[in-house]
Amino acid sequence: MPEEISGINENKSGDNAMNFLERIIEDDIRSNVYRRSVHTRFPPEPNGYLHIGSLYAININYGAAKRFKGAFNLRFDDTNPLKEDMEYVNAIIEDMKWAGYDPGENIFFGSDYFDRIYELTLKLIENGRAFVCDLTPDELRESRGTLTTPGINSPYRDRSVEENLKLFDGMKNGIYSTGEKVLRAKIDMSAANINMRDPTIYRVLNADHYRSGDKWRIYPMYDYAHPIQDAIENITHSLCSSEFKDHRPLYEWVLNALSFAFPEPPKQREFGRMSITGAITGKRYLRQLVSQGYVDGWDDPRLPTIKGLRRRGFTVESIYDFLGDIGVARDNSTVDISMLENSLREDLKPKAHTVMAVLDPLPVEIINYPEGAEEWVVVENNAENPELGSRELPFSRNLLVEREDFMEVPEKGFRRLYLGNEVRLKGAYFIKCEKALKDENGNVIKLLCTYDPATKSGGGFTGRKVKATLHWLDVNHTLPARINLYGRLLPDENISGEEPDWPRLVDPDSLIAMENARVEESLSSARPEEKFQFIRHGYFVADIHWKPSEKLVFNRIVALKDTKKKG
């Protein structure tokens, strides 16, 4: 483990104030609760990809370790072989490193502790604190009672230690079928907290594990394995989201029952879970969207997965700023996605080069511009940051503008091109629309315009004013591009049920691909994940899967702050 953890977001307020969890840790340090340094962890199950909610939890644990100059572990809680895979392990490690939360060599697997957990469980049985139960899953569920009625003791609760050890050994050796027997902790069937009513701590599962192969036919339950894994790794503070608060008594019971092995047990404390409007973070739903083909894989830019955010063009810095802005809450909260988007705009505004891109081209001929003539006009690379300099763009008789920038019969307030109206072409001249040419179906296919040579940008022209400036491209100096315009995948993120009606829920217009777009030639040097501002359209990123030898592909990251169309 590196001596100091780096790459984590610092508090943006300037005073680097502690959150409530860090104050708890500070109190523990002052009280000498532990004789070791602060040690936190992030324990994902490798059955899916990380998402923005995962980073919120990572940020809290990683940040606490950084503040107190402690250690941080990435531990894969791989106790369910039916859903786990090395694909997810590799993806989680890659995503964490990309986001700046590098665990270094502190990467562990819960499955590496199976032998130790089994040995400790034998001691638990020998001490009379666990028993093998033969109830079926339905019978076990019924026997637990409700929030208002106590549970009923299993008829197998009073089995002898010897019988329990023998049966548990048979479970381990694959004598019994899946679900035929379980090992339960012997606690209290009348406990107010249902999690304490003799919970299952081991189950028979005749499945091979992606790391340990066919060695085990029994696997520990998460609530049982988690505290033991924390203790084995010398974790001091197990910081987790609030849905585990009702599980904390069991976490503490397990460690108390095994106090002979762990005299300084870790402490579990909870924080409020964060949700984001317009984003689904439930692994089950994300997996369905991916497996059923509603999205283009786990890195689809419409998903809130880290891979999706990265492919969409979100920057690490913007995510840090977002996490710093929302802080750490005690209770569950929902954050508007506009906060994340605004963090991105603020990050990209001074960095991204501004370029010309015409998504839906409409040809324009400047009929009084000399045939065959060409000149170069100067355009700044970023109006917010003069240090990024400027570039020259070619200008000639034949240009392209956005089709939406022309209206044959202008609506009230429309200020762009229409017959007889004059606008400025950015960095170039005033042009006036004289005529619209149409095809046999009445569709406008070209605009005939005139220009005023006295109005060149930067030439000191102080005459008449125009009310609109348009972006444009020289038709002879463009590159073809596919430009993906992404919206919200699900307009309503309140999804429930095991199998939601995805065809009804998924917005068919959440991806609009502009296949005939053209961009300026300067983008020939673009590289995957490079980000730009397309004038008036927003911020865009070269798709991570695009190869420079192929047609350019750009994904819209986010619209400009003011997305209302103006004339």
Which is more confidently placed, 23 or 499? Answer: 23
| DSSP conformation letters of 334-362 | EE-HHHHHHHHHHHHTTTSEEE-EESSEE
Q: Is residue 317 pLDDT above 50, yes or no?
A: yes
Give a yes or no: residue 501 inside a domain. Answer: no
Q: How many domains does the chain have?
A: 3
SS3 assignment for 224-286: HHHHHHHHHCCCCEEEEEHHHHHHHHHHHHHHHHCCCCCCCCCEEEEECCEEECCCCCCHHHH
15 pLDDT exceeds 60?
no
Q: Final residue of a domain: which of 271, 293, 322?
A: 271
Of the residues 271, 289, 310, the one at which a domain ends: 271
Is residue 307 located within the same domain as residue 166? Answer: no
- In terms of domains, do 252 and 392 share one? no
Poorest-confidence range of 73-82, 419-428, 453-462? 453-462
Provide the residue type at 402 as one letter.
E
Q: Comparing 153 with 14, which gets the higher pLDDT?
A: 153
86 falls within a domain: yes
Residue 562 has pLDDT above 70, yes or no: no
**Domain check: are 307 and 255 in the same one?**
no
CATH at residue 396: 2.40.240.10
- Please say if the pLDDT value at position 163 is more than 60: yes
CA angle centred on 344, ends 341 and 349, rounded to 5° = 125
Q: 52-67 and 316-326 are packed helices; what angle lies between their axes, rounded to 10 degrees?
A: 80
Distance CA 110, CA 232 (A): 10
Instruction: Check residue 6 and give its pLDDT.
Output: 44
- 10 Å Cβ neighbour count for 254? 25
Contact 472, 401 (CB under 8 A): yes
Domain annotation covers residue 109? yes
> Residue 313's domain is classified under what CATH number?
1.10.1160.10
Pairing of strands 531-534, 353-355: parallel
Asked if residue 245 is part of any domain, the answer here is yes
190 and 283, same domain (yes or no): no
Q: Is 283 a catalytic residue?
A: yes
**Mean pLDDT computed over every residue of the chain:** 93
Residue 346 known to be catalytic: no
CA distances from 60 to 56, 74, 82, 222, 258 (A): 6, 13, 29, 21, 28
Same-domain status, 256 and 298? no
Whether the pLDDT of residue 216 is over 60: the answer is yes
Question: CA dist 474 to 257, 365, 454, 477, 479, Å?
Answer: 76, 10, 20, 5, 10
| Domain co-membership, 377 together with 240 | no
pLDDT tier for residue 490 given thresholds of 50, 70 and 90: confident
Q: Which of 75, 172, 186, 273 is catalytic?
A: 273
Give buried/exposed letters for 391-409 (b at 16+ CB in 10 A, else e).
bebbbbbebbbbeebbbee
The answer to whether residue 8 scores a pLDDT higher than 60 is: no
- The answer to whether the beta carbons of residues 189 and 152 sit under 8 Å apart is yes
Regarding whether 248 and 338 lie in a shared domain, the answer is no
Q: Which of 133-147, 392-406, 450-464, 472-486 has the lowest mean pLDDT?
A: 450-464
Range 92-115 average pLDDT:
96
337-383 pLDDT, tens per residue? Answer: 999 999 999 999 999 999 999 999 999 999 999 999 999 999 999 99
Q: Supply the pTM of this predicted model.
A: 0.90
Residues 175 and 54 in one domain: yes
Q: Is the pLDDT of residue 567 over 60?
A: no
pLDDT value of position 19: 95
Residue 186 falls within a domain, yes or no? yes
pLDDT score of 461: 78
Residue (of 52, 51, 53, 44) closest to 89 by Cα position: 44
Given the residues 41, 66, 159, 283, the one annotated as active site: 283
Domain boundary among 471, 496, 516: 471
Segment 55-64, tens digit of pLDDT = 999 999 999 9
Structure tokens at 283: 């692994």
Q: Is the pLDDT of residue 460 over 90?
A: no
Element (H, E) at 311: helix 306-312
Strand, helix or coil at 144?
Answer: coil
Tens-digit pLDDT profile for residues 517-536: 999 999 999 999 999 999 99
Residue 414 lies in a domain: yes
162 and 98 together in one domain:
yes
* Containing structural domain, residue 167: 20-271
pLDDT at residue 498, as a whole number: 83
**CB under 8 Å to 335, separation ≥6 — which residues?**
274, 275, 276, 277, 326
Q: What is the pLDDT of residue 459?
A: 78
- Average pLDDT on 120-131 reads 98
Residue 332 lies in a domain: yes
Shared domain for 310 and 367, answered yes or no, is: no
Confidence of residue 402 (pLDDT cuts 50, 70, 90): very high
Mean of pLDDT values over 477-484:
97
Angle between helical axes of 114-126 and 222-232 (0-180°, round to 10): 110
In a domain, 493, yes or no: no
Residue located via tokens 């006036």:
432
Together in a domain, 392 and 441: yes
pLDDT of amino acid 2: 34
Same domain for 158 and 57:
yes
Residues 6+ apart with CB under 8 A from 453: 429
Note whether 542 and 554 are within 8 A (CB): yes
Give the other-Cβ count within 10 Å of 424's Cβ: 19
